[in-house]
Amino acid sequence: GQQVMQIPQYQHVQEGEDFTTYCNSSTTLSNIQWYKQRPGGHPVFLIQLVKSGEVKKQKRLTFQFGEAKKNSSLHITATQTTDVGTYFCAGQESNYQLIWGAGTKLIIKP
């Protein structure tokens, strides 16, 4: 069946270092969405990418959608303690169902 693989599962970084999480879909997506879940919280919608090759920025966050609309990445520049949480991608196909990645947990080392 359709799958979205997300890596890495965990990433430990020093505050100020960069962070990247990657998602790869087994099928072509109509769009991909990114969510952030803080510890103890619930997923907060960050962004939706629709166009092939699209790149969007939100302050220190850069989101990319691959040319084939099968892969995506989220890059955070100069991480801060407020960035801690789990980042999920969710691919959407034409039937509206979401195919969730397993999430990448960002941990800031003290």
Binding residues for other proteins, rule: CB under 8 A, are 33, 35, 37, 42-45, 48, 88, 90, 95-100, 102-103
DSSP 43: -
Least separation in angstroms between residue 103's CB and other proteins is 7
Residue 13 identity (one-letter amino acid): V
Sequence-separated (6 or more) residues with CB below 8 Å from residue 26: 2, 3, 4, 5, 70
Is 19 or 35 the residue whose CB approaches other proteins more closely?
35
Least separation in angstroms between residue 27's CB and other proteins is 13
Least separation in angstroms between residue 16's CB and other proteins is 25
Is residue 32 exposed (0-12), middle (13-18) or buried (19+ Cβ within 10 Å)?
Answer: buried
Is 11 or 77 the residue whose CB approaches other proteins more closely?
11
Is 44 or 68 the residue whose CB approaches other proteins more closely?
44
Angle at the Cα of 81 from the Cα atoms of 77 and 84, rounded to 5 degrees: 85
Least separation in angstroms between residue 71's CB and other proteins is 18
- Return the structure tokens found at 4: 């979205």
Is 36 or 70 the residue whose CB approaches other proteins more closely?
36
